[in-house]
Structure 1
Amino acid sequence: MSILAPLAARYASWLALPADQTNQVETAPELVRAMPVILRIERDPVPSRTALLEAAAAAAIAVCLDPRSEPEGEWHEPVSAWVAGHIRKVSRRARGAHWQAAQAFPGVTVEVGGAEVRALVPELVVETPKEISRLQISGSELPADEPDAIPDGVPVLWLNPDVPLTAGKAAAQVGHASMLLAALLDEPDIKAWTENGFRCAVRTPTKAQWATLHPGNDPGGAWQNRRVIAVRDAGFTEVDPGTVTVLAQWRA
């Protein structure tokens, strides 16, 4: 069974929840798990926002599908425990020596277009190492950029055009999107995506495109017919509970 199977099983029911119930989490604070997502944001050069988000999406799923996350692997227990609950992510920014220090912790670093992100193995939030917890969560905003045309053969993660997100929040959301997408793919598609380094494109659609892609009340049909899934946020930070932040579209 895929380590992401619990996520696939919850997908449709999560989308069906009333908005005010999406953040009713009863987990005791000392049991909350999260994946730290470290964004390398140097003063010079400043990374491209789009490239940084594409790296974040790839890094998150790379941790989940790494051989070390398989049943006999050293990461299996923490990753499976996290996926079985709420897939929280905490984006933090780092530069210089702090970025280098983050490389010592278990995880995967992905580089896209000169932008680097390291997703760490999920852990209990209360046990976050001080070298990671001291990295700032705020201040991760980056200017909008004009990305190139979408490459052939990569999935597209569409950001909600009506919901402004900081780069840190968007990094967590596209990481959720890549995981949900992988949870629903079959083995041949997973194999092909793995061989491509989990590359994807992050773009902002027009409002008309977003409305056309949105699964609405038929998430199963949207996946079967259009290969589209939705990320619905619990609303702990930046956005209201139940907000759909990203639509992920598989393009083989």
Structure 2
Amino acid sequence: MSAPSPEEGAGEPRPSILEALAARYGRAPVEIPPEADGVVRAMPVILRIERDPLPGRTALLEAAAQAALAVCVEPEPEWEEPLRRWVDGRIRKIARRARGAHWAAVQELPGVTVEVDGAQARALLPGPVDDVPKTVSRLQIGGTELPPDDPGPAGSPIIVLNPAVDMTLGKAAAQVGHASMILAAVRGWTTAPRFHVRRDPALWAEPAGTGVEVRDAGFTEVDPGTVTCRAW
């Protein structure tokens, strides 16, 4: 799937699922209130990490970013209501890892799998965090890290992780998923392109222009308000 240029999609209707994000991030980010119905929801993002061979860290993050957005811009009709409830609140994501039979099992759940350079991630339909299917709840959230790699020059669109902030693989996967959704929302994109993910101080120092940034709510790993990544 080819990535749209910044100009593409300008005259297209904005994806309805992302309208709340477009309104929220079309200006300076505002404080997001707790969910009106009191139900905390999250999108499970499953990272495929087999023992051998291990996937590339950057490719896995790129797959996660694209998969999270694909669920929102290419939804099945029955997904729209749970997606709206999730997007209207805080767009939490929880990354888990799977391999072998466990990876095969999550393919049966509603969601989208994306492969980038041999690395695979599957974003699932969001739902209440206290009512996660057993197929998902048995998967570990942390534990496996992947060595940094040097993927070479980035293309467009790009997500740059804050080089001053240390994040686990799972945390980074959630953050790039947020970034892909927010950028698509404010740009009005109706497809889920490949995002190039980098953690490069030089890129971080560049002006993002009409890009977006992700400020973390501070539930895990980083302080509230931390800018974890930018996308443009």
Normalising by structure 2, report the TM-score.
0.88
CA distance 1:105–1:170, change in 2 (3 Å): same
Aligned counterpart, 2:161 = 159
Identity %: 60
Q: Paired residues, what number? A: 218
Residue number in structure 2 paired with 1:213: 207
More helix by share: 1
Instruction: Indicate if the aligned counterparts of 1:231 and 1:247 stay in contact, CA closer than 8 A.
Output: yes
Instruction: Encode CA deviations 1:62-117: one digit per residue, 9 max, x unaligned.
Output: 0001141xxxx110011111000000000000011100011010000000000000
**Once superposed, which parts of structure 1, at least 4 consecutive aligned residues long, lie more than 4 Å away?**
26-29
Say whether 1:15 aligns with 2:23: no
Cα displacement (A) at 1:26: 6.5
> Are 1:54 and 2:49 an aligned pair?
no
The counterpart of 1:80, out of the listed 73, 81, 84, is 84
Aligned pairs for 1:1-252 (under 5 A) are 2-11=16-25, 15=29, 25=34, 31-68=39-76, 73-151=77-155, 154-186=156-188, 190-191=189-190, 194=191, 197-206=192-201, 209-213=203-207, 226-249=209-232
Mark the CA change 1:67 to 1:236 in structure 2 (over 3 Å): closer, same or farther.
closer
Counterpart CA distance in 2 for 1:81 and 1:26 is: 9
Question: How much has 1:130 moved relative to structure 2?
Answer: 0.8
Change (3 A) 1:182 1:26: closer
How far apart are 1:227 and its partner, in Å? 2.4
**Structure 2 stretches lacking a partner, 5+ long:** 1-13
Normalised to the residue count of structure 1, the TM-score between the two structures is 0.81
- Please give the secondary structure, in 2, of the residue aligned with 1:171: helix
Q: Deviations over 1:152-185 (max 9, x none)?
A: xx20000001001111000000000000001101
CA change 1:150–1:13 in 2 (3 A) is: closer
In structure 1, C-alpha distance between the alignment counterparts of 2:220 and 2:28, rounded to whole Å: 18
**Corresponding residue SS for 2:130:** helix
Aligned-CA RMSD value: 1.9
Q: For 2:215 and 2:172, locate their aligned partners in 1 and report how far apart those are by CA, in whole Å.
A: 12
Letter in 1 for 2:57: R
Instruction: Give, in angstroms, the shift of residue 16 of structure 1.
Output: 5.3
| 1:213–1:247 CA contact under 8 A, matched in 2 | no
Displacement, 1:234? 0.4
Task: Write the distance in 2 (CA, Å) between the matches of 1:8 and 1:159.
Answer: 21
CA distance in 2, matches of 1:213, 1:32: 35
